[in-house]
C-alpha cells in the first residue's frame, strides 16, 4: 500500500466492525447492502473498479492477514477457480441465492413463514443466532429476517475468502468475488470488451 495512514487503507476495520456489530445485533447486517450498492454504482458511474482497488475492506483484510501477517500458504489458485465459467457461474449462483433469501423475507412479510433466527452458513447449515435478535417490536419481522439472510451471505463469503486466503494467495477471494466479477463485467460491457 503506497500512502500510509490514509483512511482508504483503514477500511479493513470497517469490515471487522461489520461482523462484530452483526454478532451482537443482527439488524446491523443491513449495512452490508453498502458493499453491494457502492461497487455497482461506482462502476456504472465511471469509477470503474475503484471499490475493489482502493476501498474494499475485505480485500484489505486478506492482504493484511495473508501478506502482512504471512498466514497464507501462497499457493497458486487451481485453474478451474480462475476460469470464466467458474467466476460467472459463482456470480449467478450468488444472485440466485440472494433472490432465494428475498423469498424467505417475503414469506415472513406476508405471514406465510416464521422468522428463522439463525445464520445459514454455506446456504445449508443453520447456526443458532437468537441472541443477536434485539429488534423487539420496533422493527418489522421481515426486516429482521432479511438481516439474518444477509448476514448469512456475508459470513459465508467471508469464510470462503478466509479459506482462500489461507490456502492460496492472500487475495484469491477477489478472483471469484461476485461483486468483483459483476463490476468487471459492467466495465467490460461499457468498453465493448469480450466478457
Q: Return residues touching other proteins (CB under 8 A).
A: 1-2, 43, 48-50, 52-54, 59, 63, 67, 74, 76-77, 82, 87, 168-175, 180-181, 183-184, 186-188, 190-191, 193
Dihedral sign, Cα of residue 127, residue 63, residue 36, residue 17: positive
For 36-147, where are the E strands, in sequence order? 118-121, 125-128
Give the β-pairing of 125-128 and 118-121.
Answer: antiparallel
Nearer to other proteins, 56 or 132 (CB): 56
122: how many CB neighbours lie within 10 A of its CB?
A: 10
Closest distance to other proteins from the beta carbon of 192 (Å) = 11
Looking at the Cβ atoms of 3 and 99, the one nearer to other proteins is 3
- Smallest separation (angstroms) from other proteins to the CB of 41: 13
Closest to other proteins by CB, 112 vs 194, is 194
**Would you say 148 or 168 has its CB closer to other proteins?**
168
Report in angstroms how near the CB of residue 9 gets to other proteins at its nearest. Answer: 9
Query: Containing H/E element for 39?
Result: helix 33-44
- Residue identified by cell 447449515 is 125
CB of 56 to other proteins, least distance (A): 8
CA atoms within 13 A on the CB side of 84: 4
Amino acid at each position: 500500500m503506497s500512502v500510509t495512514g490514509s483512511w482508504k487503507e483503514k477500511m479493513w476495520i470497517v469490515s471487522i466492525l461489520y461482523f462484530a456489530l452483526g454478532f451482537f445485533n443482527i439488524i446491523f447486517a443491513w449495512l452490508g447492502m453498502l458493499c453491494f450498492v457502492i461497487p455497482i454504482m461506482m462502476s456504472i458511474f465511471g469509477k470503474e473498479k475503484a471499490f475493489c482497488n482502493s476501498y474494499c475492506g475485505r480485500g484489505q483484510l486478506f492482504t493484511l492477514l495473508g501478506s502482512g501477517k504471512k498466514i497464507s500458504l501462497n499457493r497458486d489458485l487451481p485453474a478451474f477457480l480462475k476460469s470464466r465459467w467458474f467466476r460467472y457461474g459463482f456470480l449467478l449462483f450468488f444472485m440466485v441465492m440472494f433472490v432465494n433469501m428475498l423469498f424467505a423475507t417475503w414469506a415472513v412479510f406476508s405471514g406465510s413463514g416464521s422468522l428463522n433466527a439463525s445464520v445459514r452458513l454455506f446456504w445449508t447449515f443453520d447456526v443458532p443466532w437468537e441472541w443477536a435478535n434485539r429488534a423487539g417490536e420496533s422493527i418489522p419481522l421481515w426486516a429482521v429476517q432479511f438481516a439474518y439472510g444477509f448476514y448469512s451471505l456475508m459470513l459465508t463469503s467471508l469464510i470462503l475468502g478466509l479459506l482462500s486466503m489461507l490456502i492460496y494467495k492472500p487475495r484469491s477471494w477477489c478472483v471469484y468475488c461476485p461483486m468483483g466479477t459483476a463490476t468487471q463485467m459492467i466495465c467490460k460491457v461499457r468498453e465493448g470488451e469480450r466478457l
